[in-house]
Structure formats: C-alpha cells, structure tokens
Structure 1
C-alpha cells in the first residue's frame, strides 16, 4: 500500500491533526543512503516530521527545510519537503550506529545528540523565507519538534514519530502524527486528549499492526466529533537534474571550471539526496563557461 497522510480537524475547528504512514518512504531513503538501523530511525523520523509539516503549507510550490544539528556522531540531518507530498533528505554519517538503549530501543537521541538546534525554514514565495530556530531537548526528534512549536511558534502541539526497523535492517513500519490545539480548545478537551494519548501505543507499533492513518485518527479522537479534510499521497522523490547542477557549476566561476577541464577533463557531481551522479565532459564545461 502506498504511503499517504490525512489532515483533519474537529467540527468546531479547535484541533488540527495530521497523521501519516511513511513506511515505503523511509525504506526508500534507507536503500538510497545505506543507513545503519539507528541512522534509519533518525532520518526516518525527520522525513516523517518534514512531510507532515510540508502538508501544512498552503501552496504546492512552498518549500520547507528541516535541519537538525545536534553535534552527535550521526552528524547533521537535512530534510526538504514540499506541499505536494514529495520529500528528500540526508544524514551526514549514514553508516554510524550505536548500541541499543537499556530498554531495547534504538538510541536515536545518542546518535543525533542534543547539544544543538532544530531549524525550520519555510520558503512561501515571499521576499524572505521564514526561519525558526529552537534548542534541541533530547535529540529524539519528536520531542524536539514539539518544543520548537511551543518555543518558536507558541503553538501547543503533540508530536509522535516512529520507525520500526526489522531484523534484516529494512523498515518494517514508520509513521507519525502532529496534533495542534487551536484557540477555543477547552480544558476539558485537553484532559480528554491527554488521557487518550497515555493509553495509545507508539505510532510505529500501530502501523505495524496494520492500522491505517484513518484508523489511528479515529482511535485517538473516538470521543471527539472529527472530520477528515484531505488525503494526500506522499513519497521520497528527489528533484535534482542536470540543469540544476549547471547552475551550481556556474556559481563556481570560470577559474574553477577551467581547472576542472585542465586537471580532470570533466566533472562529476553527486546529489547528496539521491546519490545520482551527474557527469559533464570537457565540451559541456566549455559551453557552461561561455554562458557565464
């Protein structure tokens, strides 16, 4: 079954909810980057967060960048999401792994680190993009994103992100949800929701059991009057192209391009998001120089 997300609200517009199944998306990123189990979980949670946040933007051309710099052994994590449901990402040191925690769970917080920042950049087609920054709380990503919403946007939010890695290191289940409490939400609503969330299983376990985003949505909000507003397919998809790489090469300047021609008789540029190699021979580089 394809990955997808749903967006919903209660009938009075006091609660915003997004729920996603991201198993195939995270597995695709694992294959591309050949990530260790812990790196798979770290990047997978970040991709899930990014695709949920991307769905909150209004226009298809809007771009959201999700960056984590926790100073852990896994290095920086970078995710780029669009409103159309496509996403791409990378982790700096994909092969680094850590022993499991005492409770048997993957040590994502240890790999990511918590001595750094979470940065959210939203390019909404305006003169300047919106940039929000908050300190990391744990490196577990879901807690850090909830803290970001509270600190940078003053938006009370519940964030759950999960990746279940199988014995063969493939992704068995992945997904997440974001619940935001909007103006008008009552204390009674909050208590009801808190009590429900205390008893619900981790989101990756629910997806592993075969529950759909709609099932999770209805399970959490069985005591509320809710409605689903949108269903959207999501996928890991890189939008790199040779044309875009040409622009990057032009930015290097004639001196650097000439050195590529004389020393290497061409150039090879690899995209960090999909590992595609874009090759340029001498003639192509000379044409690029003429256009500068």
Structure 2
C-alpha cells in the first residue's frame, strides 16, 4: 500500500495519536539527494516528524518549515510540509556515513550533533509566520521534537521516529508515531501509555514485520482504547517552478542582477528540494530587472 498517515484519538479523547508509514516518501528523498546512511536517517526522521506535525497543527493551505541545525557532519536539514500530507526536504551534506553506535544502529546523534537548534515555522496565512525554536537536547531527533512540543507548544508528547537503511543505502522502512496528551488527561492513562512505549519493540522492527500505522498505535494504546479518525495519503513532491525562481530573482539587488546580465549573460537556479535546474537568458534577466525597477518607482 502507498504511504499514509493515521489520525486517531485514544482513551476517550485524552490522547491525540498519529502514526505514519513514510517508507516510499523517504525513499524518494534518498534517491533525489543520493543520501548515505547517516544522512538518510537524519533527513528521513525529519521528514517523518514534519508529516505528523503538519497533520496535527495545519489546515487548508497552511504550510510548515522545519529546520534542524546541529554541529554534526550532515549540517542543516530543511523540510517543508503542508496539511495535505505533502513534504519536501534536503540535507546540507548528503554523503555522510558513520560507524554504528553502541546499540548497533545508525548514529543519528553523531550525524546531527547535539549543539544547535530545532525551529518550526508555521505559515498560517497571517501577516507574519510564527516560528518556535528550541535547542537540540539529543540529536536523535525523536527526543528533540518531543522537547519542541513541550517547550514551544506546551503539549506533553511522545515522538518516535525510525528510518531503516539497507546496506546499499536504499530505504527499507521509514515511519513513526506521535502522541499528544490533552488537558485534563488522567495520570493513570499517561502512565499506562508511557509504560507501553518503553516496552514496545522498536518501530523499525515493527515496520519490517509489516505492522501498519494503526497496529503500531494499537500496540501503544490498546485496540479497544483507539478510535481511528482519518487515514490520509502522504508523499514527497516539490512544487518549484521557473515562475517562483523568477520571483526570487526579482528580489535580488538591482546591481547584482545587472552584474549577472553583464558578466554571466544569464543565470542558473537549482532547486534544493528536487535538484531541478532552471535557466534564465540574458533577456529574461533584463525583463525581471526592468519589472522590479518599475515596481520600486
């Protein structure tokens, strides 16, 4: 089945629950950016988290940008998401492979680093986007997104993220879960959920055993306590276009645009998210410069 995300309520609405299978989505990102194992895991976990955060907090045409900037070798990670389950993302240094950590798993903490920040910017259609930023507390990313939700959005949460990378750098599975505690939730319910999360098999093992997002949530909350609200498809897709890059060029300083015209006789723009190249001729740059100058006047 194609990638999809599940929205649910548990324990009569005391817990909001989300889970996603994003294996094909992360696989497409890996292929587009030629990421190696550690970079794949870091970018993939960020994609999985962005899908769930977007599903939990966005509606209609609202958008979200997640930025992870640590002191590890992968550098910055940027992921865009929307309410329709579409994501796109990239990692600054895609060719990062590290020795396995003490648990014999991909060293995501070593790839991302432990000093830096996690920032989430939401474009809710208001005059100014809202950005919440927290320092990295782990580098494993699941704990970092949990910390972000607690500190920036004041929502006690649990976030589990997983990307299993094959020996040839292809993606076997990618997915995760996110539980959010609603105000007034019973302490016994919270304790029960925490106990189940600590006792459950790793997400990657469950997904490799073909467990669905619904089954992963059921293993945490119990089937009888879970009410599935919605299943929505998710995918990797880039919405870049020559028109968008032309708009970006129009915001460049006129002197710099003139320099492109005089020295380069054109310009080339490459999309970070999908690698597509857009070329602008000298005449196209002259038109952009002329229109931009007229607007200033």
TM interval, shorter chain, is over 0.9
- SS class of match (2:251): helix
Q: Is the 8 A contact 2:163 2:174 kept in 1?
A: yes
Q: Is the 8 A contact 2:43 2:90 kept in 1?
A: yes
Match of 1:23?
23
Q: TM-score, normalised by structure 1?
A: 0.96
Q: CA deviation at 1:223?
A: 6.0
Match of 1:132?
132
Once the two structures are overlaid, the 10-residue window that deviates more, 233-242 or 121-130, is 121-130
Q: CA deviation at 1:219?
A: 2.1
Q: Is the 8 A contact 2:58 2:82 kept in 1?
A: no
Measured in 1, the distance between the counterparts of 2:114 and 2:137 equals: 6
Match of 2:288?
288
**Alignment CA distance shift 1:11-1:197 (3 Å):** closer
Structure 1: which 5+ runs fail to align? Answer: none
Match of 1:64?
64
Structure 1 vs Structure 2 CA RMSD: 1.3
Tell whether 2:32 aligns with 1:32: yes
Match of 1:108?
108
Q: CA deviation at 1:76?
A: 0.9
Q: How many residues align?
A: 292
Q: CA deviation at 1:94?
A: 0.8
Tell whether 2:213 aligns with 1:221: no
Measured in 1, the distance between the counterparts of 2:236 and 2:175 equals: 14
Q: Is the 8 A contact 2:160 2:203 kept in 1?
A: yes
Match of 1:146?
146
Q: Is the 8 A contact 1:5 1:21 kept in 2?
A: yes
Structure 2: which 5+ runs fail to align? Answer: 293-297
Q: Is the 8 A contact 1:266 1:281 kept in 2?
A: yes
- SS class of match (2:103): coil
Measured in 1, the distance between the counterparts of 2:181 and 2:130 equals: 22
Match of 2:7?
7
Q: Tell me the alpha carbon deviations over residues 81-101 of structure 1, each in whole angstroms, 9 at most, x when there is no partner.
A: 111111111111111222211
Q: Is the 8 A contact 1:173 1:205 kept in 2?
A: no
- SS class of match (1:87): strand
Q: Tell me the alpha carbon deviations over residues 125-155 of structure 1, each in whole angstroms, 9 at most, x when there is no partner.
A: 1122221111111100001111111222221
